[in-house]
Amino acid sequence: MDHLVETLVNALGGIPSELIIFIISLFPILELRGGLIAASILGVNIWRAIPICIVGNILPIPFILLFIEKIFEWLKNTRFVKMINKLEEKAEKGAQQIMKHKKLGLLLFVGIPLPGTGAWTGSLVAALFHFKLKDASLSILGGIVLATIIMCIVSYGIPYLVGLAI
């Protein structure tokens, strides 16, 4: 992920650092995790980076929760059917971990920064498996808070402790 973040940072060079981390936080896969890594690389103050990355990560979530099923149904009638099937398979794999504990499972799935997890995939799972909107939203928000804490420690705390702070 670090290499991908660095590539994006270089590609987006010339625009303000805050906008770069906001854009990175919007992207699936990278999300807040990538945004905080980028913020650390760019030397953005942690207290400035946190709200920017959280807003960037949260922004797509309501659209996924409310509209993804309709979008998938429409896309299944296009040439994107294979891509949609793969996304649904990914959600199915994530759902197996989540469904055992529902709300807590979704929170942990979103919050623990592992490949294939995060708010985008968690929202996809919640929508496709018909979580109540309130339950999904609260679990995803809690997961984003957990991911923020973990990634602040990884992106800012550890480098500071080992003397690599920017």
Domain map (residue ranges) of the chain: 2-58+149-161, 61-147
Average pLDDT for 60-65:
95
Residue 8 reports pLDDT greater than 80: no
Q: What pLDDT does residue 75 have? A: 87
What pLDDT digit, counting tens, does each position of 75-110 carry?
Answer: 888 888 888 888 888 777 767 778 778 899 999 999
Average pLDDT for 111-131:
91
pLDDT cut 90: percent of the chain above it = 57
Q: What pLDDT does residue 159 have? A: 78
Mean pLDDT, all residues of the chain: 89
Count of other CB atoms within 10 angstroms of residue 44: 23
Distances (CA, A) of 94 to 5, 44, 62, 89, 162: 24, 33, 19, 9, 35
Do the Cβ atoms of 98 and 125 come closer than 8 Å? yes
Average pLDDT for 125-138:
93
What pLDDT digit, counting tens, does each position of 9-49 carry?
Answer: 778 777 899 999 999 999 998 999 999 999 999 999 999 99
Tokens of 86: 């793969």
DSSP letter (8 states) at residue 78: S
| Cβ neighbours of residue 18 closer than 8 Å, sequence gap 6 or more | 44, 48, 52
Nearest alpha carbon to residue 33 among 159, 165, 153, 151: 151
Q: What pLDDT does residue 91 have? A: 78
| Cβ neighbours of residue 33 closer than 8 Å, sequence gap 6 or more | 1, 113, 118, 147, 151
Q: What pLDDT does residue 164 have? A: 57
Q: What pLDDT does residue 162 have? A: 79
